[in-house]
Amino acid sequence: MGNVVYFDEGAVDWLEVSDTWEGKVPEGEPDVRYKVLTSGSVGVPGIQFVEYDAGHHEKPHSHAESEVLWVLNGEVTIGGQTLRAGSGAFIEKDTVYGPLEAGNQGARFLRIGLGT
């Protein structure tokens, strides 16, 4: 029998990135926060609701899993390509991408990790 996993972004709290994360911005600079919507258990992709403050900047980086980014509000530029609400990107695992820069309104997007 199949599995249905429900999630509700209104039912979970916002989290801040840890101080040990290499992409953590200095105090007072435009930051990022996120909500974990699914835990990425077996057969379920890890889904996060992510919010960038206006002007947030992240250095080029990579992840050990492929991912899909889907912009819901605002805009984010990834390595010169601007994504707006309704657009997204697939990024293959271990691909270095960036920098990431949020627009003047910031950005909200879903990050879907496809596992390692």
On whether residue 2 sits in a domain, the answer given is no
pLDDT at 20 over 90: no
> Which domain does 102 fall in, by range?
9-17+32-113
Residue, of 7 and 115, whose pLDDT is higher = 7
Give pLDDT, residue 25. Answer: 84
At residue 1 the predicted structure's pLDDT band, cuts being 50, 70 and 90, is: low
Give pLDDT, residue 17. Answer: 87
On whether residue 3 sits in a domain, the answer given is no
On whether residue 84 sits in a domain, the answer given is yes
- Residues 55 and 102: their CA atoms lie apart, in Å, by 5
Whether residue 97 contacts residue 61, with contact meaning beta carbons closer than 8 Å, is answered with yes
3-state secondary structure of 109: strand
Q: What is the CATH number of the domain that holds 38?
A: 2.60.120.10
| Average pLDDT over every residue of 49-61 | 94
On whether residue 4 sits in a domain, the answer given is no
At residue 115 the predicted structure's pLDDT band, cuts being 50, 70 and 90, is: confident
Q: The whole model's pTM is what?
A: 0.89
Please give the share of the chain, as a percent, with pLDDT higher than 70. Answer: 97
**Residue 65, number of CB atoms within 10 A of its CB:** 17
On whether residue 65 sits in a domain, the answer given is yes
On whether residue 89 sits in a domain, the answer given is yes
pLDDT in tens, 68-91: 999 999 999 999 999 999 999 999
Give pLDDT, residue 2. Answer: 76
On whether residue 1 sits in a domain, the answer given is no
On whether residue 26 sits in a domain, the answer given is no
Number of domains in the chain: 1
